[in-house]
Structure 1
């Protein structure tokens, strides 16, 4: 959540930040009202408690009718104190809930507007010219069938729409991508992690996934547990309720996990293939650092994502995501979008967000600084979301006969194979 002092001292800045996201500023007034109510309830409770303590000191010295009056007053006051305490607790909860409804303040550099209002930062590589090579590119669905790599029909039969099997070379390709991503992360000082894919509500709420993204989250019926849509969630909660040694920052983790998303609101979008699915595997970078260092760390995460895409020989562009398209927790986000030949457009394959101290405040993650303890900053960055990277590799590196050249960086993880070849029954 945002710093409460910022809301009290500069509410207009918060209103402007909401407007930049295209949101109404009602939550600011609600939160300010809740804060006033909270402060008033604290004062009422403390006043009554002080009176109760004062009476407690007078009773032993009183006698007769005076003592009886004091005891009667004490009984009434005890009920008032209990009521005031309950009112204070309720006001504290309302105040926290109001704060939790306010998203992180978008960076001044982030473009205003919605999904289509991004700023193009750079374009890397040129889309392959298949016409010049004399053949029409096949899409990943046909290539997956020809190679025996993707089985969408049986995925739908067993689990429903937006599910799939990776088989043979498809499964091998995911394993190779995972190992390549983990090796790259290790080389940059990341600790590799396999986190739980089920978390309690606090982890979801703390990372901002029970707010505007709640409709896209799978909840386990009958249990207070959720399936994660990204390992950002368990990795953000990893150090919850802890005070970190700032001398050890940054703490960098690379986590491999399955991810589950309802894809609410995507009806009719990407219904074919494995571009938009309910389950996929992903390697996610997650970093804890100081607020001051978070902005440079954000750029480093972007460079590591670009390094990964470069070694796969993909054409892509980098965009600065508009404020209205940011998640609740993000202050700024960069996306890398790979060129998908058969769609003739760029599609998001990686993203990295600086969440500043927003998630750390919600999860009570602090660092020990010279001036005392304070929230740290958290950042996340997708290194490899498997289905879309596989789509980009298959379509970009395909040959006229349906075979696919394997990027050189992946060959050591694929027994030295240089290409994937169509199977006889394809």
Structure 2
């Protein structure tokens, strides 16, 4: 969340940020926050003044009694003060609760390079890599290819789990694991520490890492428990140091996490309704970094470069887009998406997202950093980027590497993770 000191000292900066986002409802909340914060500070001052008066009266009463004078008026006032404090404490706490609620809902400050736009058509193409392959035969959908090769079963999955689920079989299941192992090994070799996080989180931790609207739209809640299935490994990795102070000398901390991901909302389908592009459950390898503010934009480019290097090694044509103000979400100051070319759909589609959340996410989680023994503490920056979301990567491979005979060529970089297999074919 934003620093309340920033809002007090530079409210126009926050107003300008909300204007760029074209978010009138948040603008109203900001004005309410400014008012409630002023009221909270005045109420807190009154409470503190009463507590100081109580302490002074205690001394005066003792001195008055010691001198033999009448202390009844002082004692009457002393008896009233706790009641006044209780009244102001209640008011102060209510105001503080509302201030914190609004702070949690106000979005991060956007980087100056973020394009302004009403929808994703305003996303700016940063660069394009690779050239789509020329295909002179009729393209099959990825779902059709997987079924024809006996490598996926969507109908049985739908019967037992509903729409948006699937069985992967044989070589396609191996391809899924190959993508995971390739991405993990790639990043471990670059000195990222492998994390296998909890697959469920409590709400108090989850509120620090995601848009609050996700609880109703995206998250699966465990019935009867204060637990939610994670939507990405980013979330438990971000919360790993909640309410802690990180030794600044250990920064940057670079992690690569692997987990299944669970999401209620899967969006609209494109030309193909059967498949693994939009699903409720998928595997993903995620990059995450805690760092100093001075290093975060350099590391943002590092995270992006890692993922681009992997997709280049996979031989999948892609473009990088700078995500616009209406599409960027609450937490990120800047976001790059990689969109891979999907020949069956005839368009680019999102496969990864790289975000610099600056100090916004860490402040929500009450994470600080500093030197041991020093009172000088700061809030670290957090960054995240998809390495590989296996379901969409597999769709891209099935579409871009399909052959006229219905088989699929395995990208060369993945073959060592599949026992040397070069082609997906029917068993």
User: Scaled by the length of structure 2, what TM-score is found?
Assistant: 0.95
Q: Does 1:407 align with 2:411?
A: yes
Q: Does 1:378 align with 2:382?
A: yes
Deviations 1:361-401 (A, max 9, x none): 11111111688110000000000001100000111111111
Aligned positions, number: 419
Moved more, 366-375 or 234-243: 366-375
Deviations 1:284-323 (A, max 9, x none): 0000011111011001111100011011110111100001
Matched ranges for 1:1-20 at <5 A: 1-20=1-20
SS of 1:96's equivalent in the other structure is helix
Aligned counterparts of 1:206 and 1:34: Cα–Cα separation in 2: 22
2:22 paired residue number: 22
SS of 2:71's equivalent in the other structure is helix
Matched ranges for 1:193-272 at <5 A: 193-211=195-213, 214-263=216-265, 266=267, 271-272=273-274
Contact 2:239 2:365 in 1 (8 A): yes
Contact 1:209 1:217 in 2 (8 A): no
Matched ranges for 1:268-307 at <5 A: 271-307=273-309
Q: Does 1:183 align with 2:185?
A: yes
Aligned counterparts of 2:49 and 2:352: Cα–Cα separation in 1: 55
Relative distance call for 1:217 and 1:45 in structure 2 (3 A) is same
Contact 1:230 1:260 in 2 (8 A): yes
Contact 1:101 1:211 in 2 (8 A): no
Relative distance call for 1:157 and 1:177 in structure 2 (3 A) is same
Contact 1:190 1:254 in 2 (8 A): yes
Aligned counterparts of 1:387 and 1:411: Cα–Cα separation in 2: 18
2:121 paired residue number: 116
Contact 1:203 1:236 in 2 (8 A): no
SS of 1:417's equivalent in the other structure is coil
Q: Does 1:69 align with 2:62?
A: no
Contact 1:31 1:98 in 2 (8 A): yes
Offset, 1:188: 1.0
Relative distance call for 1:163 and 1:415 in structure 2 (3 A) is same
Moved more, 279-288 or 244-253: 244-253
Deviations 1:229-254 (A, max 9, x none): 11111000001112112222110110
| The one of 71, 80, 84 aligned to 2:84 | 80
Deviations 1:242-282 (A, max 9, x none): 21122221101100011111116x25667432111111110
Moved more, 98-107 or 372-381: 98-107
| The one of 337, 340, 343 aligned to 1:338 | 340
The runs of 5 or more residues in structure 1 that have no matched partner are none
Offset, 1:213: 6.3
2:320 paired residue number: 318
Aligned counterparts of 1:176 and 1:61: Cα–Cα separation in 2: 81
Aligned counterparts of 1:19 and 1:271: Cα–Cα separation in 2: 38
Offset, 1:354: 0.3
Q: How large is the Cα RMSD of the aligned pairs?
A: 1.7
Aligned counterparts of 1:213 and 1:122: Cα–Cα separation in 2: 34
Q: Does 1:421 align with 2:417?
A: no
Contact 1:147 1:169 in 2 (8 A): no
Offset, 1:61: 2.7
Aligned counterparts of 2:286 and 2:63: Cα–Cα separation in 1: 68
Aligned counterparts of 2:138 and 2:110: Cα–Cα separation in 1: 43
SS of 1:66's equivalent in the other structure is coil
Aligned counterparts of 2:311 and 2:382: Cα–Cα separation in 1: 23
2:52 paired residue number: 50
Deviations 1:47-67 (A, max 9, x none): 111111111112223348832
Aligned counterparts of 1:323 and 1:281: Cα–Cα separation in 2: 28
Offset, 1:86: 2.2
Offset, 1:27: 2.0
Aligned counterparts of 1:236 and 1:344: Cα–Cα separation in 2: 36
2:367 paired residue number: 365
Aligned counterparts of 1:209 and 1:421: Cα–Cα separation in 2: 42
2:168 paired residue number: 166
Q: Does 1:130 align with 2:115?
A: no
